[in-house]
Amino acid sequence: ALLASLKHAIGSEQAWTRLFSVRDRGGKIRWLAARSSVLRREDGTRSWFGALADITEQEHARRAAEQANTAKSQFLAVMSHE
């Protein structure tokens, strides 16, 4: 799906943004944010510019916050029935 979305962006000359995970050499999962866009020049050539950022720590923090929010909601639901 990742490669297909990139190929589609290139074929349609649209900006591309994705969050995805990969395994590093040690087997750990790393989360990456990727973004690219095309520059169309007057002579018809195209140049792609992009950036790739490791957002593993932010993704872990986001997931922990979601889990805490779910736990809080479950706790409040139980307390309201007692």
Transcribe the chain into DSSP letters: -HHHHHHHHHHHT--EEEEEEEE-TTS-EEEEEEEEEEEE-TTS-EEEEEEEEE-HHHHHHHHHHHHHHHHHHHHHHHHHT-
More confident residue, 82 or 54: 54
Does residue 30 register a pLDDT over 80?
Answer: yes
If you average pLDDT over every residue of the chain, what do you get?
93
Does residue 47 register a pLDDT over 90?
Answer: yes
pLDDT at 50: 96
Is the pTM above the cut of 0.85? no
Q: What is the mean pLDDT of residues 3-11?
A: 93
pLDDT at 54: 97
